[in-house]
Amino acid sequence: MPESDASSLRKRRDELQSSVVQLLGSVAKLEEKIRKEMSFRAGADELEELNALRTRLETDFRKSTVALTTTQNRLETIVRGLEEVTQKRSPIKELKARVDLYHELGVALKADQFIRFIVEQALRRLAEYGTHHLNKLSSGRYSFGSETDDFLVLDLVRRGTSAFAIVFMFGSSAIVT
């Protein structure tokens, strides 16, 4: 082999060895960078570290799946609860309207107003029953009527006008013509 070929091969070998040294340095730097990024312990087996990382990730995934399922169940429960609330609001509105009506009735029928109501109803009924008898006695000419606390005698011949009236107010009486 000629000397120039051998020299050129040595030169090429040296260049390749220099490249290999540079590459080994780069590989070492990359390994260190990967170890830092992957949080590998110095001197630990990378495969074991990766398997441990995979196991942790799988465990976290299962926990996340369980948490997601739990959250979905809670959400479904909340949606059902909201639907029930919506369904119950309609009867509540109706019941509130009834409560308001009963409250109005209660206010209207307070002790003094209740007594007034009873007296007015009693006078109205007395006027109705008395009209039946007064019609017989007057041959259909007169009837009784009532206005709040008063009894009225109405002349039916003059179409219900009061030709005269007898007014009874809580035990007193007067004749008005």
DSSP states of 25-82: HHHHHHHHHHHHHHTPPTT--HHHHHHHHHHHHHHHHHHHHHHHHHHHHHHHHHHHHH
* Tokens (6 digits) for 131: 């009209």
Long-range pairs of 9-12 with CB within 8 A, sequence gap ≥ 24: none
Whether the predicted pLDDT of 34 surpasses 70 = no
Query: What DSSP element (H or E) covers 174?
Result: strand 172-176
Evaluate if residue 30 carries a pLDDT over 70. yes
Q: What is the pLDDT of residue 176?
A: 45
Q: What angle do CA 67, 73, 76 make, to 5 degrees?
A: 140
**Mean pLDDT, rounded, for 38-56:** 77
**Cβ atoms of residues 112 and 106 within 8 Å:** no
Say if CB 166 and CB 151 are below 8 A apart. yes
| pLDDT number for residue 72 | 92
Name the CA radius of gyration of the chain, rounded. 54
Phi, psi of 89 (to 5 degrees): -70, -35
Q: What's the pLDDT at 123?
A: 82
Look over the chain and give the mean of its residue pLDDT values, rounded to a whole number: 78
